[in-house]
Structure 1
Amino acid sequence: MSTTPHRQALVIGASRGLGLVLAQELTRRGRHVIATTRRHGGELQASADASQGRLRVESLEMTSVEQLSALRERLGTCRIDLLFVNAAIDRGNLPIHEVPTDMFTQVMTTNVLSPLRTLEVLRELVVPGGTVAVMSSDQGSVSLNTEGGYELYKASKAALNQLMRSYATRHADDGMTKLLIDPGHNRTQLGGPGAPLEPEQSIPAVVDVLEAQAGARGLQFLDRHGESVPW
């Protein structure tokens, strides 16, 4: 793939929910967008078909090292100004001592290891001064963890935040903006039907934050209003 003059974003995990609306919103604002999904078809492909070439769908199972390497090869010399990793699973509200080992491994692999591995594999595609961002949650805030429930999910987001700190330290001099984003509690498959927000409400605000923070140095953990979330 040849270098493109357009502002271009790569959204990892865009088949539904927050990732889908993020890819659609970035496209609506004039970016060319590459969006990944584990399964072809559905609303993401329909959006791509209607985008006049501004939205492109790529296949990726993020937890697969082989598929991640294949995506990197397919993208070739593509240059992007925004790399956004959006992927998370939840496996219910069990106290941690009742969580089976295979469930713990699956959640931590999907929510923690795979996003950081994805950043490392794809970060060289990001132009100087570009942004790398990961969808986090205030559920990963240690200082805000004052209510019970969802211990494994909270632990995975806290671990994600910690490893993103390590990533930012390791790449402190690369000139890229680094963001952890808390989009709020949304009505998605993950957030559940009782959540107070719709992705169509929260994601435009998230994109406002991404645009406002472009060029900022260091790592920030921000909510959809651009306010800092306590670590």
Structure 2
Amino acid sequence: MTHTALIVGASRTLGLALATEYLRLGWDVIGTVRGTERTKLHELADSSEGRLVVESLDITDPDQLSALRDRLTDRMLDLLFVNAGVTRGNLPIADVPTEMFTEVLITNALSPLRVIEALRSLVTPDGTIGVMSSRQGSVAMNTNGGQDAYRASKSALNQLMRCYAARYADDAHTLLLMNPGWVQTDLGGPGAVLTIDESIPGVAATINAQQGKPGLQFLDYQGETVPW
């Protein structure tokens, strides 16, 4: 039986690579993009022989989320994975405008949990719900500071997933916060130690290795536990 993954935020970099990897592994994939412009995900779909479906979703828009839920009502997902992350510059927290802080927290923390709450009923009873977190969300590992708003948003994401796990403690879903490592993306910068191709296969392998293990874990792309 073919497995199905919904990857929210799959138009570029990590999300696009994750969609590509799951296609390589033989899964069917639903990937979301913001807006209506053609992306590399659309190009991937063209060559997927129908195994990749592209959906439109701005995760900060509740109406779009509700519409996506209606469109997917007849689908069952083995994996729901939310890939969301914006940063608006490496500013000390006192210099971060309120509007910027609000945008980062809404995009990186609030909206992923809204997606999960809206779509959780589509995930098979022994399926997996995952979110792209970051080592910068780890309070214990923050010894250098910097990226204050982004760090705060990822820590908030981790805490909200803790709340989610407690609220649905009787569910058998595998719950994962994934740290992809320091990757060469717009967020990670050119000095990052990993390429996308070095990170994402490990992310997918780690996700799949945890299938059927209920409860929440914070793991990196090598399957190692990340301290909270």
What TM-score, normalized by structure 1, do the two folds share?
Answer: 0.96
Show the counterpart of 2:21: 25
Q: Does 1:160 align with 2:157?
A: yes
- Aligned equivalents of 2:227, 2:94: Cα separation in 1: 26
The answer to whether the aligner puts 1:45 opposite 2:19 as a matched pair is no
- 1:16 is matched with 12
Q: Would you say 1:139 and 2:136 are equivalent positions? A: yes
Q: Are the aligned partners of 2:57 and 2:65 in contact in 1 as well (CA < 8 Å)?
A: yes
Output the TM-score relative to the length of structure 2: 0.98
**1:96 counterpart = 2:110:** no
Instruction: Give the CA deviation at 1:188.
Output: 1.1
Distance in 2, Cα, partners of 1:102 & 1:125: 34
Tell me what 1:194 maps to.
191
Looking at structure 1, the residues matched to 21 and 152 of structure 2 have their Cα atoms a distance apart, in angstroms, of: 30
CA distance in 1, matches of 2:158, 2:203: 18
**1:224 corresponding residue in structure 2:** 221
Letter paired with 1:11 = I
Aligned with residue 128 of structure 1, among 125, 148, 170: 125
Once the two structures are superposed, the pairs formed by residues 198-213 of structure 1 within 5 Å of their partners are 198-213=195-210
Gaps of 5+ in 2: none
The percentage of counterpart residues that share the same residue type is 59
- What is the Cα-based RMSD across aligned positions, in Å? 0.8
Q: CA deviation at 1:148?
A: 2.1
CA contact (8 A) 2:171 2:214 kept: no
Match of 2:3 among 4, 7, 18: 7
- Counterparts of 1:22 and 1:173, CA distance in 2: 29
Q: For residue 208 of structure 2, what is the amino acid of its counterpart?
A: E
Q: Which moved more, 1:196-205 or 1:177-186?
A: 196-205
Matches of 1:68 and 1:189 in 2, distance apart? 26
Q: Deviations over 1:170-204 (max 9, x none)?
A: 01111100000000011112212221111111000
Q: Give distance in 1, aligned partners of 2:153 and 2:39.
A: 28
For 2:155 and 2:39, locate their aligned partners in 1 and report how far apart those are by CA, in whole Å. Answer: 32
Q: What's the secondary structure of 1:110's corresponding residue?
A: helix
Residue 228 of structure 1: CA displacement? 0.4
Please name the residue that 1:70 is paired with. Answer: 67
For residue 104 of structure 2, what is the aligned residue in structure 1? Answer: 107
Cα deviation for residue 6 of structure 1 reads 2.8
In the alignment of these two chains, the number of paired residues is: 227
Could you tell me how far apart the structure 2 residues matched to 1:76 and 1:6 are? 18
**Amino acid corresponding to residue 54 of structure 2 in structure 1:** V
Residue aligning to 1:169: 166
- Give me the whole-angstrom Cα distance separating, in 2, the residues matched to 1:7 and 1:225: 22
- Unmatched runs of 5 consecutive residues or more in structure 1: none
Match of 1:82 in 2: 79
Distance of 2:168 and 2:22 partners within structure 1: 26
